[in-house]
Amino acid sequence: MVFSGIPFLYYFLPATILLYLAAPRKLKNAVLLLASLVFYAWGEQRLVLLFAATILLGWLLGLLIERFREKVWSRVFLWLSVLTTLGLLGYFKYADFFMESLNSAFGLSLPLLRVALPIGISFYTFQILSYTIDVYRGDVAAQRNLIDFAAYVSMFPQLIAGPIVRYSDIAGQLTARTHRLDKVASGVRRFLVGLGKKVLIANVLGQLCTQFRQTSQPSILFHWLYAVAFMLQIYFDFSGYSDMAIGLGRLFGFDFPENFNYPYISKSITEFWRRWHMTLGSWFRDYVYIPLGGNRRGIGRQLFNILVVWMLTGLWHGAAWNFVLWGIFYALLLTAEKVGLKKALDTHGALGHVYVLLAVLLGFVLFNADSLDQAAQDIAGMFAFGKLPLFSAEAVYYLRSYGVVLLLAVLGATPLPKRVIAALSENRKLTRSWNVLEPLLLTGLLLVVTAYLVDGSFNPFLYFRF
Amino acid sequence: MKWKNILTIALAACVIFGFSAAGFLKAPEAYSMAERRSLAQKPALSSQQLLSGKYMSQFEDFSLDQFPLRDNMRTLKAAASRYVFLQKDNHGIYEHDGYWSKLEYPMNSGKVARSGDKLREVYETYLEGTGCKVYLSVIPDKNYFLAPRGGYPVMDYSQLVENLREKLDFAEYIDIFGDLSLESFYKTDQHWRQETLSGVARTLADAMGAEISRNFTVQELPVPFYGAYCGQAALRMQPDTLYYLTGDLLDECTVTSFNTGLPTASFMYDMEKAYGKDPYEMFLSGSDALLTIENPNAATEKELVVFRDSFGSSLAPLLASGYSKITLVDLRYLQSGLLGNFIDFENQDVLFLYSTLVLNNTVSM
C-alpha cells in the first residue's frame, strides 16, 4: 500500500484514524501496531511473519543487552543482533548480487537464490540496528513493552521508505505524547503538501522519463530532459514521501526527524549530503563513519572511511554495480572537497551551485540506469555532439508538454514557495485572508490529487525498491 | 491561527471521510459509458486470494473504478493537466483545431510485423493458388493529418506501409492516403466519416476492376454523436454530426451475420445502435467476426472478401454495388483457423484493409 493511493487515503487512513481516536490511551500503540501490520501485509503477504520475527528478535536482544550491561554477554548479544539483522538483509538483498558478481568474475555458475526483497527491509533493519547499538552504548534504555517496541519499528508512516527514525528520536513519545490541535493541523498540511509533490510533480515527471525510454528519436536535448526530469522526480518522490511520513507522524502525536532541506540549493557535495536523505547520512555517520575513526586518525584514514561509508551508502540503495559506482562517485567528490576543492567552491558560490547540480544530475543518471551499459549510454547521449541530433521533434514536444511541470518542480525545489507562504502569513493585512485561503487551497490540492489518482495508474514509489 | 488549524483539519476530514463514506454506501456500477468499458467489481475475499496478493491488486482496481464521482474526478484531472499544467496531451489524447485524437507514436515495429505475419498466414493457408486476386490497403489514422499541424509527434507512416508491403509481397498495394484529409474524420472519434469516402471507394474499386455506384442520399442522424474521445478525454467537447449514405441499391442488399456461427439477418445500418452508446456501431452493427452483404442487383458475379477492422464497416456499403457479394472478416473476433468453415476462396477479389491504429497496436489479430 502506498500513501498516494486510493486504498490508503480513503479506506485505510480513515479507518485507522477512527480506531485510533476511539482507543483508550493505553491501547493507542496497539492500534498503531495493528494498523501497521495490515499496512505491511497489504503489500507483503508472505514475509509479514519474517518482519514480525525480526521485530521480536530485536526486542529480545535489546533486553538481553541491557540485562548483561558491562558484561561480555552484552557484546555477544549485540553482535548477534548485528549479524542476524544484517544477515537477513544480506540474504534477501545482496546474496544474488554477490553470487552474480562472482559468477561473472571467475566464470563460476553458483546458483542464484532469486528471493523477493521484503518491502522496507533496508529501513527497518537500520532502525533495529540503531536501537540495539544505542542500548549497548547506554544511550537509551531497552524497551520492555513489546507492543511499544513493535509499534516503533513497524509504524506505518515511516515503515517502508523512511525517514529512518531512531528509537532515541521517539522513545519518550511512545509512552507519553500529546495530540495538540496545532500539531495535527501541521501534520495535515505537511501530509497534503507531500502528497501533492508526489502525485502532481514526481509521478508526472516519471511519465516523461518513461517516454524517454520509449523514444525512437534519441537526441541530446531528450537526454538532458530525461536527466533533469529524473533528478527532479526522485527529489519530489522521496521528499514528498518524507513529508507525508512526517505529517502522518504528527497526526498520531509523533515528531519524526526531517529528511530533506532543499538539497539542490547546495554549493558543495558535502552540503548536499547534509540536506539530502539526512536520516540516512546521520545514521552512517553515527554507526559506521565515527566507529571507524571518523576524522580523528589522520587524513589518510579519514579518506578511507569516507570511501567505505559511501560504498555502503551506494549498496544500501541497491544491489547493483551502478549503485556502488554511484557511492564511489560521491566518495571521490567528497574526498576532493576535503583536500581543497570545498575552499575554492566556498569563494565562488555560483560555481558551487553549477558544480553540485551537474554532479548530482550525472549521479542520478548513473543511479537510475538498469545496468552500467545503459548508464554509459545515457551519459554519453548527453554529450554526443555530432553523433546525435541536438534535438528532435519528439524531444521538443515533450519539453513543451512538460515545461510548466518542470518549471514548477525547479521552483518547488528551492525555498521560494516556503518564503512566499511565510510572507503571506506574516503580512498583517493578509493574515486573515490567508488563514481562510490556505485551508481552501490545501483542500483543493487534495481534490486534484485524488482526481489524478482516480484517473491515473503510474504511481510507484522509487524508494520502495530500497 | 486556531481557526485556521480547525478549518484545515475540518476540510481535509470532510473530503477524506466524505468520500470514504460515499464509497461504502455507493452501489457499484457495472459499466462506464464515458470510458466504454466494464468497471472492476469488489473482489471475493478468500485466504488464497489474500495470500497471493490478488485480492489487494483487485481491490485497488475496484477502489479506482468505483470511486464516487469518478467521471467528475477524471474531468478535474484532465482540466488540471490541460489548463493548469498546460500539458499537451492527457493519456495521449490531445486536441488541435477542434479535432481530438490520441497520439499514435512511435511505430511499433514488432506489432506491425506480427500483423503482417498473421495476414501472410491467412494468404498461405487459404488464398495461395486459388485464383483470388489479393490487394492490400492501409488506412492512415487521424494523427497522420492532425499531429504535424499541432507539433505533435508523428510516426513514420511510410515506414509502416513499407514494412507491411514487404510482409505481404503477394498483394497489390492500393494507396488511399491521397483520398483522405483531416476532414474525412470525425472530430470526437477516431473513425472516418462515411459521407467523405467516395474517393477512397473509387480508388479501391478502380484498382480492383470493379464498377461502383455513386448514387447515394446523405442522411443525418438526428442525435449528436459524441465520439470515443469525449469519454476518454473527460472534457467537454462539441459533438459531431453523424451522416450515413442510403439508396435503393443498399436497401435491397441483404446483410447476414455469422457471429453466432449460424446465419442471422443483420442490418446495413443498425438504427438501434445509432441511438446507443456508440453510434458509429450503426454501420453493419459494429463489431462482427463474419458478415456478408449480398447485392441482388449486381451487374457482375464478382465477389469480394475484405479482411478489415471497424473502418471497413462504414466503407463496405460504398463498395456493395460493384460486387454480387461482399464478405467481411474481422480476424480480431474470428480465429483464422475457422475461416475455411465459412468461406470457399475461389477467384474472389480479396482486400486486406486495415487502419494503422490496428496494425500498430493489435495483439489479437
> DSSP letters along B216-273, please?
-EEEEEEEEE--HHHHHH-S--PPEEEEEEE-HHHHH-EEEE-TTSS-EE--SB-HHH
**B56 has a chain A CB within 8 A of its CB:** yes
Same domain, yes or no: A86 and A191: no
Q: Does residue A346 belong to any structural domain of this protein?
A: yes
Q: Does residue A461 belong to any structural domain of this protein?
A: no
Same domain, yes or no: A250 and A320: yes
Q: What are phi and psi of B223, to 5 degrees?
A: -130, 150
When scoring A119, A225, A455 by the number of chain B Cβ atoms within 10 A, the one with the most, hence best to mutate, is A455
A397/B88 CB distance under 8 A: yes
**Can you tell me whether residue A321 is helix, strand or coil?**
helix
Reported as a pLDDT band with limits 50, 70 and 90, residue B51 is confident
pLDDT at B365: 65
**B102 has a chain A CB within 8 A of its CB:** no
B87/A46 CB distance under 8 A: no
Q: Does residue A120 belong to any structural domain of this protein?
A: yes
Same domain, yes or no: A189 and A156: no
Low-confidence ranges of chain A (pLDDT < 70): 457-466
Strands B240-246 and B349-355: unpaired
**B109 has a chain A CB within 8 A of its CB:** no
| Residue at which a domain ends, from A154, A177, A200 | A177
pLDDT at A45: 82
**B20 has a chain A CB within 8 A of its CB:** yes
| Residue at which a domain ends, from A145, A177, A209 | A177
Same domain, yes or no: A112 and A234: no
To the nearest whole Å, the CA of A451 is away from the closest chain B CA by 5
A453/B64 CB distance under 8 A: yes
Q: Is the pLDDT confidence value at B72 over 60?
A: yes
| Segment 31-50 of chain A within 8 Å of chain B by CB | 42-43, 45-46
State the Cα–Cα distance between residues A174 and A148, nearest whole angstrom: 6
A43/B9 CB distance under 8 A: no
Same domain, yes or no: A210 and A269: yes
* Cis omega (within 30 of 0) for bond into A163: yes
| Residue at which a domain ends, from A152, A177, A202 | A177
Residue of A nearest to B66 (CA): A454
**A119 has a chain B CB within 8 A of its CB:** no
**Cα-trace Rg, chain B:** 24
* Nearest by CB: A448 against B53, B80, B86: B80
Q: Does residue A465 belong to any structural domain of this protein?
A: no
Read off the C-alpha cell for A31: 492500534
The residues of A carrying an active-site annotation are 317
Count chain A–chain B contacts defined by CB atoms under 8 A: 140
pLDDT at A464: 47
User: Which residues of chain B make contact with A436, given a CB cutoff of 8 A?
Assistant: 4, 7
User: Which residues of chain B make contact with A443, given a CB cutoff of 8 A?
Assistant: 11-12, 14-15
Same domain, yes or no: A105 and A245: no
Q: Does residue A460 belong to any structural domain of this protein?
A: no
**Can you tell me whether residue B294 is helix, strand or coil?**
strand
Q: What percent of chain B has pLDDT over 90?
A: 79
Q: Is the pLDDT confidence value at B363 over 70?
A: no
Per-residue pLDDT, averaged over B264-275, amounts to 94
Q: Would you give the distance in Å from CA A58 to the centre of its chain? A: 23
| Segment 124-183 of chain B within 8 Å of chain A by CB | 151-154
Same domain, yes or no: A19 and A147: yes
| Segment 185-244 of chain A within 8 Å of chain B by CB | 185-186, 188-189, 192, 200, 204, 214-217
User: Which residues of chain A make contact with B40, given a CB cutoff of 8 A?
Assistant: none
Q: Does residue A98 belong to any structural domain of this protein?
A: yes
State the Cα–Cα distance between residues B339 and A443, nearest whole angstrom: 58
Number of domains within chain A: 2
pLDDT at A125: 93
Same domain, yes or no: A118 and A265: no
Per-residue pLDDT, averaged over B260-271, amounts to 90
**B12 has a chain A CB within 8 A of its CB:** yes
Same domain, yes or no: A134 and A224: no
Same domain, yes or no: A208 and A168: no
Q: Does residue A463 belong to any structural domain of this protein?
A: no
To the nearest whole Å, the CA of B226 is away from the closest chain A CA by 20
Read off the C-alpha cell for A440: 481552501
Residue A284, amino acid = F
Most confident listed range (A1-5, B102-106, B272-276, B361-365): B272-276
Residues 6+ apart with CB under 8 A from A53: none
| Segment 329-358 of chain B within 8 Å of chain A by CB | none
pLDDT at B364: 61
Q: Is the pLDDT confidence value at B32 over 90?
A: no
Same domain, yes or no: A166 and A230: no
Same domain, yes or no: A274 and A422: yes
To the nearest whole Å, the CA of B97 is away from the closest chain A CA by 17
DSSP string of A81-98, one letter each residue: HHHHHHHHHIIIIIHHHH
Q: What percent of chain B has pLDDT over 70?
A: 99
To the nearest whole Å, the CA of A151 is away from the closest chain B CA by 23
What is the residue-averaged pLDDT of chain B? 93
Per-residue pLDDT, averaged over B68-92, amounts to 94
Q: Does residue A407 belong to any structural domain of this protein?
A: yes
State the Cα–Cα distance between residues A436 and A66, nearest whole angstrom: 52
Indicate the pTM of the whole model.
Answer: 0.89
Domain that holds residue A448: 183-455
The arrangement of strands across the sheet holding B349-355 comes to B172-173, B133-139, B349-355, B303-308, B325-329, B290-294, B254-257, B264-265
Nearest to A464 by CA among A209, A198, A248: A198
